[in-house]
Structure 1
Amino acid sequence: MEGLEETVDLLLVTVKATGLDDALGRIEATPSVVLPLLNGLEHVDTIRSRLDGRVLAGSIGKLEAYRDSPTEVVQTTPAPLITIFPEDGAAHLLSEAGLDVRVGESEQAVLWEKTVRLAPLAAATAITQKALGQLRTDSTWRSTLSAAVAEACAVAAADGVILDEGAQWEILDTMPASVTTSTARDAAAGRPTELDAILGAVVRAAKRLEVRAPTLDRLLAEAEDACRAQSH
């Protein structure tokens, strides 16, 4: 579809952060409700500044899927979980379509719950080009990721969202060993990545909320260097 020219009841925005500006430029009609399912923390405000419809907060988690060829999509994890806030009828529509949907406690909670795990993992996989299983069993990287998740949880807490870092690690420990991130795949292919939208947003939040996050700062710098090196 080239663009949205007719009003719809529910518009799902599922592009990567790097394609958001172009996607929003192709929306000519005003949707009743907009549900973005992007990674990161800042895209909801961006969408609200561009669209007149009611914009919810949404997250799609516990999922790894990627396009292996123009006609093949590979999904390495079970069915994903979609979390939204507020409900506003969207959860019912998605549930009727057979999706696993829950309503989050708040807008910020929906955005932070996935980001505290994904931000460190996106950086680590981009830097090393290793899968989650290899990082989990490497004592140095496990320690680094543990510190980074703890720092991300501290930033989330300062933003009003209390998350248990132990519970976040339990999720990482039970995900398939083969899991990597789209940030790592895009970096390896020399494509623009979502690193700034994911980890960059957490680091900016830490500075705004005056939370020390030295591990996240270091991971961001190293991942930016790795992405630049692989783009040449």
Structure 2
Amino acid sequence: MLSIILRIMDRESRGGEMNIMGGYLQRYARTSLDDDQEDMVISLPKLLVQQFRAYVEELNLSVSEAIQYLVEQELQDSPATASRPEKYRAFWKELVTEMGVKRTALPQSWLSFSSGHKGITYTLSFGKDGRIRIDMSVDTGDKAANHRVFEALRAMRRDIEQHFPRALSWEDNVHRRACRIALYRPGRIGDDNIEELRAWFIRGLELFQEVFSPLLGRVVT
């Protein structure tokens, strides 16, 4: 979207892109705008905003209308893709099917499984930092109890990590009530190797359950 706006800002341009975009706006200015509109905020230098506003006002359009139409033109040749929430839903649906468990796949970036102990769950998730994560979170509602369980497990860290392909992340932020033990790797919902990510989640969850479930029976009081 930003690249489209910057091309329009160049009022002195005689390039083909300027003529094409100007033509889009001129045609759009002659159509009725009955569709529902959604506000969009884009930060631009003041001078560019003034130039763009003057340009679209000549065509009797609002800035938001012009931006909306230019975005539609930019995307019209792109293949239709599922929304991110729907991609998550489809991913988790296939995952639970492969695992052979009955779960409702939701359009969210994580999927949790009970450990059999109150407040302790295994979670598979896509992070905002371009990594995916398998973790066991401890949040019983009692900060002191959470940290007792966490420290009891951390005392066995060397033995625990022998079962994993890499070191685990032991996360016990003193400013938070919950604790977490996690395993990370790069991955996003839109990656081409989505089947590999799903297999990693499945095997990792099985490994967490195999390693931690017996230990939780000993350290949870």
Higher RCO structure, 1 or 2 (CA under 8 Å, sep 6+):
1
Would the TM-score normalized by the shorter structure come out above 0.5?
Answer: no
Find the structure with the greater CA-based Rg: 2
- Structure with the higher helix share, 1 or 2: 1
